[in-house]
Amino acid sequence: MSAPSPAEEPVADRWQDVVTVGCANFRPVFGDKEATLSGMERVVDSAADRGCDLVVFPEGALSSWSFCAACRDAGRPCRWHLDQAETSDGPAVRRMAERCRRHDLYTVFGFVERDAERPEVLYNAAAIVGPTGVLGTYRKMHLGDLPATTEGITFVPGTDLPLWPTRFGPIGVCICFDFWLNPEVPRLLALQGARLLVNPTACLSTTSRDEIVYGALVRGRENLSFVAVANLVGRPGDPNGDRFAGHSVITGPERPSFNRPLAEAGEGEELIVATLDLGELDRWADYYPWRAWRQGRLAGASRLIADQFAALADGADGDGVR
């Protein structure tokens, strides 16, 4: 089943250029969804007090993220994952939607989504919620595999790459591997017109601060986009004792300079906030209109790249090997 389509979101004739974004270094309470959700609500309240228009939580914020031996042994989603998953309009998502309505802001947060028609099918998803309610969910496309992770066993990959309408223009959401190791995903979101690239992630402490911050800077430079990354922190209490790196970061371009960090977190729980001037994108477009070029005088390059990817996909076997 495809992901729920982005809901219609009323926007002004001219998008709001100045937007304040918050990214949470967040620690879920492992195995306690209610306590975790209450913690997320407190972060949203704090973000509202600081004037945020958008609050970003990490991948798996609602459920935590971990290697799951039970899923590995069963070769499918384990009972714990099935029990704590919910649909895109489930109770936790609705509670966050009420918080967004109360504060007139948007939030993006990671959770385990259950397919509404096939309850045994789960997605590593991010809910996109606004003042008018749930806009929809993005489902992670690039899932890791053994021996490093069991997410390829627990989850089914997503099949849609939508933009999400907000009062400050369309945003693109991708999750962790989609962003760090598959640059085609943020590229396509940017080519479709995303003004901000949002990455809920779950980077372990084996990932350095420089990898996270410089990775965000590179993606922003490639696409002349603002970038918001939110990461987990600490040991969530899972049996594996995984420790997450934090270092949530917000980056953006300021012509004539390429991207620079606008706000950066450390390794503990923290909400970083930055006010972005999305009008910088228009100033860059006047100087270097690469999106228009790729649809106009460089359309041949777009077709060539698309054809090469299609040929690779058509020539691959079930394991992705020619």
Q: What are phi and psi of 103, to 5 degrees?
A: -100, 0
Same domain, residue pair 173 and 297: no
> What is the structure's pLDDT at 12?
47
Same-domain pairing of 126 and 57: yes
Question: Do 136 and 6 form a contact (C-beta atoms < 8 A)?
Answer: yes
Closest listed residue to residue 96, CA positions, set 165, 158, 36: 36
Between β-strands 133-139 and 122-130, what pairing exists: parallel, antiparallel or unpaired? antiparallel
Are 176 and 318 members of one domain?
A: no
Radius of gyration for the chain, computed over Cα atoms and rounded to the nearest angstrom: 19
Residues 301 and 265 in one domain: no
Q: Do residues 309 and 190 share a domain?
A: no
Same domain (yes/no): 36, 62: yes
Label residues 201-224 b or e (16+ Cβ within 10 Å = b): bbbeeebebeebbebbbbbbeebb
Output the pLDDT for position 239: 58
- Contacts of residues 263-269 at CB distance under 8 Å and 24 or more positions apart, as own/partner, are 263/23, 264/213, 265/23, 265/25, 265/231, 266/25, 267/25, 267/205, 267/233, 268/25, 268/233, 268/234, 269/24, 269/25, 269/26, 269/27, 269/233, 269/234
At residue 56's C-alpha, the angle toward residues 147 and 10, to 5°, is 130
| Domain assignment of residue 13, yes or no | no
- Residue 3 included in any domain: no
What is the Cα–Cα distance from 152 to 35, expressed in whole angstroms? Answer: 27
Domain count, the chain: 2
Same domain, 103 and 34: yes
In this structure, is residue 42 part of a structural domain? yes
How far, in Å, CA of 295 to CA of 237, rounded? 49
- For residue 82, the domain's CATH number is 3.60.110.10
Q: Are residues 231 and 295 in the same domain?
A: no
Residue 142 and residue 175: Cα distance in Å, rounded? 8
Measured at the alpha carbon of residue 167, what is the angle toward residues 163 and 172, in degrees to the nearest 5?
20
Looking at the fold, whether 131 and 170 belong to one and the same domain comes out as yes
Could you tell me if residue 12 is inside a domain? no
Whether residue 221 lies inside any domain: the answer is yes
Terminal alpha carbon distance of the chain: 28
The predicted model scores a pTM of 0.93
Query: Are 188 and 106 a contacting pair, CB within 8 Å?
Result: no
267 within a domain of the structure (yes/no)? yes
* Domain identity same for 55 and 69: yes
**Domain check: are 41 and 182 in the same one?**
yes
Q: Do the domain assignments include residue 216?
A: yes
- Going by the DSSP 8-state scheme, the letter that residue 184 receives in this structure is H
Distance of CA 92 to the CA centre of its chain: 18
The predicted structure's pLDDT at residue 202 = 95
String of b and e for 12-36 (b: at least 16 CB within 10 Å)?
Answer: eeebeeebbbbbbbbbbebeebeeb
From first to last of its 322 residues, what are the pLDDT tens digits of the chain? 556 667 655 444 689 999 999 999 999 998 889 999 999 999 999 999 999 999 999 999 998 777 889 999 999 999 999 999 999 999 999 999 999 999 999 999 999 999 999 999 999 999 999 999 999 999 999 999 999 899 999 999 999 999 999 999 999 999 999 999 999 999 999 999 999 999 999 999 899 999 999 999 999 999 999 999 999 998 755 556 668 999 999 999 988 888 899 999 999 999 999 999 999 998 998 988 999 999 899 999 999 999 999 999 888 665 544 3
Residues 6+ apart with CB under 8 A from 194: 163, 170, 171, 172, 225
In this predicted structure, what is the pLDDT of residue 317? Answer: 62
Residue 248 included in any domain: yes
**53 and 157 co-located in one domain:** yes
Residue with tokens 């989504």: 113
Containing structural domain, residue 298: 290-322
